[in-house]
Structure 1
Amino acid sequence: MSSPVPKALLVPLIVACALFMESVDANVIVTALPAMARDFGRDPVSLKIAVTSYVVGLGVFIPICGWVADRFGARTVFRTAIGIFVLGSLLCAASNSLFTFTLARFVQGIGGAMMVPVGRIIIFRAVPKSEFIRAMNYLSVPALLGPAVGPLLGGFITTYLHWRLIFFINVPIGIGGIYLTNRHIANLQEPHPGPIDWFGFMLSAGGGALFLLGLSLVGGELASGRTALLTWLLGTGLLVVYWFYANRVKLPVLDLRFLRIPTFQASVLGGSLFRMGLGAVPFLLPLTLQEGLGMTAFRSGLITCASAFGGMFMKTIASPLLRRYGFRSVLTINAAFSGIAIAACGLFFPGTPHWAIWCVVLLGGFFPALQFTSLNSLAYADIESRDVGRATSLASVIQQISLGLGVTIAGIAVQASSVLQGHETARWSDFWPAFLLVGLFSFGSIPVTSRLPANAGDEIARGTNAPSVSGGH
């Protein structure tokens, strides 16, 4: 019996529900980090490794998701991804130490890595081209609602119930998603997906994972400083080997030759500096409000959700701004505004009116969201349609590493500030150097984007609407 709901609506909504689950989960967790740290007997800043481990899971498996979907069928892989994500959520709820929680977040990252790109493949194959833009617009809903709902929900549950309960939110959504996927999504696959660069995958995945984890272990309590340094050096070495390898094979798993395209290079490399600041704010802000200013998790969530409203407002004016001023001007000027908006969050001190904090956080959502949307749009300005999949894999992995680096560097900056000021635990005065540092990363992207031609990306800027603000993969 066919569904009364048109497939052009039903399939995107099923995929969007899975993405909403992931988006809410990411924003719920950062609000609950201080409460988790107390239960684990750890410094809240040391939980940066739990955030980074999720990003590692994403970055490691994104490059092979398209091949896996072609080999085993998109429906099979998508429902498996949902199942892995829910399993990771239950493991998070059952964790009784930072080590087990970090492993559980890595499992969640594996599931999240497969959900988003495979979900897009499902929509591309199931929806007529005439309905494709409309279908993709449905995927912007999780990106907009997740950052608004997540902090509120996480703050309420953490303050009035218990942080472990936040991970059970994913269970009914996941079960419903698997059921609807089985019933309404066809298991389309390619009969001969071709070979995959397994050696390159091992080099890039191992290098990226060890590089990020090594930095995340700095100043933590899971490993010694020597172990952290050796882990980081090994990861760096593997990435250097992959760089030489990828430039010598025909179809590497991550094709670095796309970085020779000026618009792609500006979006990915220049954008990486900006994304480091963007990735740090959701981690730093709840810690500042709760550990530095003494707010409850719920009060913190009421404030941090303001950034989502800033992003929503931005979505209504991004396309007109890009059409009017072009990518180069918007990316260059808005990078400065973004850096100032991020750094301004370090100005909070005990006694700062909550309405003033809310307004600063609102602006801290608006300008960075405009920058992110512009960068995501520019990435595909000069990419041939046949190369979109491989270009997306490279951009997504670098994006995830950048976001993870932002969290790691911000955490190290807070810990260094605490040590220099002689504080045993982080105080409000320990956070401003971290916000200033990650704000400067946004300024660091200006020399890269300012080298773009004045007409770079004009075809996209004056064509369809800019993509959503989703961090995505």
Structure 2
Amino acid sequence: MVASSATTKRYLPWVVATALFMEQLDSTIVNTGIPAMAANLGVTPLSLKAVVTSYILSLAVSIPISGWLAERYGSRRIFMLAVALFTVSSVLCGLAVNSTMLVASRVPQGIAAAMMMPVGRMAIVRTFSKGELLQAMNFVIIPALLGPLLGPTVGGLIVHWASWRDIFFVNVPVGLAALWFAKNYMPNYRSETQRTLDVRGLLLFASGAGLLSWLLEVFGETNLSPVNLVMLAAMSLALLVGYGWHAKRVPYPLLRLSLLSTRTFRVSVLGGFVTRLGVGGMPFLLPLLYQLGLGLPAWQSGLLMMPAAVAAMAMKVLSAPMLKRFGFRQVLIVNTLLVACVIASYSLVGEGTPMFAIVAIGLALGLFNSLQFSSMNSMAYADIDAADAAMASTMASTLQQMSMSFGLAFGSLTTGYFLNGMSQSDRVAVTSSLHHAFLTLAALTVVSSLSFWTLQPQDGESVSKGSEAPANNPAELRT
């Protein structure tokens, strides 16, 4: 039996944060272990690209169904099932005797990860009042910021001091702890209306999103001709457009696009989508700058990612008072420009840059990124009814996952474009290409700030100030 409401509110953010950290860490920690895995399994490192892509693909195509499962069978049951499946799959990955078993074990791991975050976020939205939501979201968002930063460093240390198999075994104690806490503190929300699963919509969206995610993951590392790549990209976009057409014509669509008519939700997920395209490339580009551009060893490069993680945690204390004082509109407009300035400042980092300056830029990036994500994620639910929490969480999680994947691909493609024709062993050429890539990502981030100008000054006050905004009636929200 789940604990009282007060106790649930105390521990539920820990439950969701633990699962999210495990998911986010696992999505990046594997990359540094690929060479060791390949050597142990007797294959080439390139052939193990599927270890990463299988996880990303299964994650991308499975997120949309998580909301329906939670509404049908209950949030606690689905969350615990997801954590258990993730933990068991991690064990199977660690016990893999060949590359085929390893790749096959990553598929259910990705499916489990796809269910954990949307269901956990839905439980947070339905448990906490609008006035308490910002504080709860601030706590939960920290693992999402720490995971991608800590993953490469932790993975490198594990491979150096132990076995690549321990990369997966570290999930076991975390998963068992998450299961125990979920059993005792995860509320079991479910919908009273049993809607049917939109199978046709699932096939359209999963096919389109999966194909597009796969193209982004293998772009530049495949033998497909440019014509074939363009045709596959057009096919994926056609499938997604087909889903949009289908969703307007069925009573219970997989993703209810009508929620985008609510201004705060629309600006958060669509405006945030563009913002994440710029920010999403940084975890990929910064290690390249430190290792290839500055010639630093991998362990030192990993340590330079730590200031951003520390600053992200510090912003947890500052974001709520700032949003209460200035409001979502003003904070998001100004902070998005500040994020862009920090990204652009990396174009000034070179071999002669003092280490304290690099650390200072990392601290600024962590502070502004943390405020950006906390603001966008909490504002998304400011005007969403509790009955729509599962659907809103599913849509937000789906678009966030896609935008971060697209951001990594965009950062990679941008760097490759500026590096075209130059030797990757030429440190000056690599640094110059990365500098141009940082400026491009910064420009994209500036463009994304335009979406936040469409907000009204009182938007999100039910979250930032714990009260309903004066203009929060359905007609004015849907503009």
Query: Per the shorter chain, which TM-score range?
Result: 0.7 to 0.9
Conserved? CA contact 2:149–2:283, under 8 Å:
no
User: Is 1:435 matched up with 2:432?
Assistant: no
In structure 2, the residue matched to 1:298 is 299
In structure 2, the residue matched to 1:213 is 214
User: Is 1:369 matched up with 2:399?
Assistant: no
Can you list the C-alpha shifts for 1:108-131, whole angstroms capped at 9, x where unaligned? 321111112333556788x79899
Query: How many Å separate the matches in 2 of 1:6 and 1:322?
Result: 27
In structure 2, the residue matched to 1:462 is 465
Query: How many Å separate the matches in 1 of 2:335 and 2:109?
Result: 33
Query: How many Å separate the matches in 2 of 1:334 and 1:186?
Result: 35
How far residue 66 of structure 1 moved from its aligned partner, in angstroms, is 2.7
Conserved? CA contact 1:147–1:305, under 8 Å:
no
Q: Which amino acid aligns with 1:262?
A: R
Distance 1:343-1:173 versus aligned 2 partners, 3 A rule: same
Q: What 5-or-longer segments of structure 1 have no aligned partner?
A: 465-473
How far residue 179 of structure 1 moved from its aligned partner, in angstroms, is 5.8
Distance 1:369-1:182 versus aligned 2 partners, 3 A rule: closer
| Mapping of residues 275-424 of structure 1, within 5 Å | 275-423=276-424
Conserved? CA contact 1:93–1:168, under 8 Å:
yes
Q: CA RMSD in A?
A: 3.9
| Mapping of residues 61-72 of structure 1, within 5 Å | 61-72=62-73
| Mapping of residues 41-120 of structure 1, within 5 Å | 54-90=55-91, 105-120=106-121
Conserved? CA contact 1:9–1:135, under 8 Å:
no
Can you list the C-alpha shifts for 1:1-26, whole angstroms capped at 9, x where unaligned? 99999555556544443333223334
| Mapping of residues 245-264 of structure 1, within 5 Å | 245-264=246-265
Query: How many Å separate the matches in 1 of 2:347 and 2:164?
Result: 26
Query: How many Å separate the matches in 1 of 2:332 and 2:124?
Result: 30
The total of aligned residue pairs comes to 461
Distance 1:129-1:423 versus aligned 2 partners, 3 A rule: closer
Distance 1:18-1:216 versus aligned 2 partners, 3 A rule: closer
Q: Any idea what SS the aligned residue of 1:253 has?
A: coil
User: Is 1:199 matched up with 2:195?
Assistant: no
Distance 1:202-1:154 versus aligned 2 partners, 3 A rule: same
Conserved? CA contact 1:144–1:311, under 8 Å:
yes
Conserved? CA contact 1:151–1:305, under 8 Å:
no
| Mapping of residues 31-42 of structure 1, within 5 Å | none
Percent identity, aligned pairs only, is: 36
Conserved? CA contact 2:414–2:437, under 8 Å:
yes
Q: Which amino acid aligns with 1:170?
A: N
Distance 1:353-1:165 versus aligned 2 partners, 3 A rule: farther
Q: Any idea what SS the aligned residue of 2:278 has?
A: helix
Query: How many Å separate the matches in 1 of 2:116 and 2:159?
Result: 27
Conserved? CA contact 2:75–2:123, under 8 Å:
yes
Query: How many Å separate the matches in 1 of 2:342 and 2:39?
Result: 30
Q: Which amino acid aligns with 1:365?
A: G
Query: How many Å separate the matches in 1 of 2:384 and 2:335?
Result: 24
How far residue 51 of structure 1 moved from its aligned partner, in angstroms, is 5.7
Distance 1:212-1:20 versus aligned 2 partners, 3 A rule: closer
Query: How many Å separate the matches in 1 of 2:93 and 2:330?
Result: 44
User: Once structures 1 and 2 are overlaid, which stretch shifts more, 133-142 or 65-74?
Assistant: 133-142
Q: Which amino acid aligns with 1:415?
A: G
In structure 1, the residue matched to 2:234 is 233
Q: Any idea what SS the aligned residue of 2:280 has?
A: helix
How far residue 35 of structure 1 moved from its aligned partner, in angstroms, is 7.4
In structure 2, the residue matched to 1:467 is none
Distance 1:271-1:102 versus aligned 2 partners, 3 A rule: farther
Conserved? CA contact 1:124–1:132, under 8 Å:
no
Conserved? CA contact 1:82–1:111, under 8 Å:
yes
In structure 1, the residue matched to 2:273 is 272
Task: Give the counterpart of 2:454 among 451, 459, 470.
Answer: 451
How far residue 60 of structure 1 moved from its aligned partner, in angstroms, is 2.0
Conserved? CA contact 1:414–1:434, under 8 Å:
yes
Q: Which amino acid aligns with 2:463?
A: I
How far residue 305 of structure 1 moved from its aligned partner, in angstroms, is 1.8
Query: How many Å separate the matches in 2 of 1:60 and 1:256?
Result: 17
Can you list the C-alpha shifts for 1:116-163, whole angstroms capped at 9, x where unaligned? 2333556788x7989986877764564465466545423422444455
Distance 1:55-1:338 versus aligned 2 partners, 3 A rule: farther
Conserved? CA contact 1:154–1:298, under 8 Å:
no
How far residue 251 of structure 1 moved from its aligned partner, in angstroms, is 2.6
How far residue 300 of structure 1 moved from its aligned partner, in angstroms, is 1.6
Conserved? CA contact 1:15–1:119, under 8 Å:
yes
Conserved? CA contact 1:418–1:425, under 8 Å:
no
Query: How many Å separate the matches in 2 of 1:294 and 1:34?
Result: 20
Q: Any idea what SS the aligned residue of 1:420 has?
A: coil
Conserved? CA contact 1:34–1:287, under 8 Å:
no
TM-score, normalization: structure 2?
A: 0.81
Distance 1:6-1:457 versus aligned 2 partners, 3 A rule: closer
Q: Any idea what SS the aligned residue of 1:349 has?
A: coil
